[in-house]
Structure 1
Amino acid sequence: MTMSPKSFPIKNWSQDDQPREKLRDKGPLSLSDSELIAILIGSGWVQESAVDLSKRILASVDHDLQNLGKLSTVHLMTFKGIGEAKAIKIAAAMELSRRRRETDPKKLDKINTSRSVFEIMNPLLGHLSHEEFWVLYLNNSNKILAKTQMSKGGMTSTTVDVRIVMKQALEHSATAIVLVHNHPSGSLHPSKSDTQLTEKFKLAAESLDIKVLDHIIVTEKNYFSFADESLL
């Protein structure tokens, strides 16, 4: 006879099936995504266990944790059984995951290829729903002296002051820069304004004997390189 979550809550499950005990005894790799989320939220509601509630939330984003990380606390609270406290716990866990990727010890601090720029900047920009413009300031060895957010805009555009970027390049004693911005739409095609801005930076940098090595457009899963496409 199959019993409903209402009459058979998680605390009454076999210990092997209880997420917290399973993590303790077998390690985190033994748990599914829904079981890990169930640990975060702690409980379900009268008609649904924490695991089943977590499965429902994951199903709404096609079981894609990247998409789960994009859900706002307000959106999470639309699920029956998820209040503000639970929504905040999920959002906090997703942000910790993003920050862990950003500080991964494998993260490169030297620019060798356009791919290396993408690997450094994707954790910062790939998941955003608005555009941001960043600049990487490099030394003679192409090591990163600083990476700086220069502007934050809307869903389709952002503006940046070329003079401020060049001023900071001189302050960092940078010999080269890499321009980076994201396209929340997922499009890898540079806009007309992207191309014009790249040329504007190139001309300004040349007058200061600074190289613009690349302009990278970042999306959630891929990137476009002006240098790779011979547009610099």
Structure 2
Amino acid sequence: MNKDAPSSEADLRAGHRKRLRERFLADPSALPDYELLELALGCVYLRRDNKILAKRLLQRFGGFDGLLCASAQELAQVEGCGPAVDSFLALLREIIARSSQSNVQKKSPVTLPDLVEIGRRRLGHCVDEEVWVALLDKQNRLLMFKRIRHGSLNHVALEPLEVVELMVRHHASSIVLMHNHPGGAYRPSQEDKALTGRIALALRHLGLLLHDHVIITSEASFSMMQDRRIEVPKRQVRELPERG
């Protein structure tokens, strides 16, 4: 066999990935973003050079945070990016969201920024409106963070009685509501404001507390309780600490 014969394209790719993995294992922080993403995409496209796709994705979405929030429709607009990438990113998002939530559940007390961060991990990429709730005990420890409603692109329905029943069932003393605006507008609608007031009033009669109602977008969050234009029974709102 001629040792000087040129290597096949598959051999070259295999050698490149092997060197890339070795560099990663030696010092993960030394890899530039596109090479780190290229290495990850190797789990999706096993027999393809992923360097160009990695660079396209990072350029299109401005970095890892934007990429993780990208919808399937947005990903499909990037040349060379198929449904397998969307599935892979969904898996990464779920792992990151569970890790973030697990860390917050270990804290006592939790802070509003803690909850907003796990809300961003869950809601920042959603294409439909969803309502999630953080249920807290008397020491402001996180009992549960879960989705209670899945709506449409621009609407999600919720009744105050649902919130009351959920809190009573799980022995929660306070709550933070969160929902997303997929269109990117982080300001609350008139319907959002009215719903917040009705929920706060319903909880007031049972001695339960509403900490906040937070709107999440892919790039921002908005605390409705810190907006003075929203009228709720303030004496029944107990503020969460800003920092742990």
Tell me if both proteins adopt one fold, taking TM over 0.5 as the criterion.
yes
**Structure 1-normalised TM-score?**
0.76
| Residue number in structure 1 paired with 2:95 | 99
Give runs of aligned pairs for residues 5-16 of structure 1, distance below 5 A: 9-11=12-14
The answer to whether the Cα contact below 8 Å between 1:42 and 1:50 also exists between their aligned partners in 2 is: no
The answer to whether the Cα contact below 8 Å between 2:176 and 2:213 also exists between their aligned partners in 1 is: yes
- Cα offset, 1:190, TM superposition: 0.8
Q: Cα gap change, 1:11/1:33 in structure 2, threshold over 3 Å: closer, same or farther? A: same
- Percent identity between matched residues is 25
| Residue number in structure 2 paired with 1:67 | 66
| Residue number in structure 1 paired with 2:24 | 23
CA distance in 2, matches of 1:228, 1:53: 42
**Structure 2-normalised TM-score?**
0.73
Q: Cα gap change, 1:203/1:130 in structure 2, threshold over 3 Å: closer, same or farther? A: same
Q: Cα gap change, 1:60/1:22 in structure 2, threshold over 3 Å: closer, same or farther? A: same
- Cα offset, 1:176, TM superposition: 1.7
CA distance in 2, matches of 1:61, 1:200: 38
Structure 2 residue identity aligned to 1:36: L
Structure 1 residue identity aligned to 2:216: V
Work out whether 1:120 is the aligned partner of 2:118: yes
Give runs of aligned pairs for residues 173-212 of structure 1, distance below 5 A: 173-212=171-210
Q: Cα gap change, 1:126/1:146 in structure 2, threshold over 3 Å: closer, same or farther? A: same
Aligned residues: 216
- Cα offset, 1:94, TM superposition: 5.2
Q: Cα gap change, 1:201/1:111 in structure 2, threshold over 3 Å: closer, same or farther? A: farther
SS of the residue 1:150 aligns to:
strand
SS of the residue 1:68 aligns to:
helix
Question: Which ranges of structure 2 fall in alignment gaps of 5 or more residues?
Answer: 1-7, 233-244
CA distance in 1, matches of 2:140, 2:10: 62
The answer to whether the Cα contact below 8 Å between 1:37 and 1:90 also exists between their aligned partners in 2 is: no
SS of the residue 2:56 aligns to:
helix
- Cα offset, 1:115, TM superposition: 2.4
| Residue number in structure 1 paired with 2:163 | 165
Give runs of aligned pairs for residues 37-52 of structure 1, distance below 5 A: 37-39=37-39, 40=42, 41-44=45-48, 49-52=49-52
Give runs of aligned pairs for residues 132-171 of structure 1, distance below 5 A: 132-171=130-169
Query: CA RMSD, aligned part only?
Result: 3.2
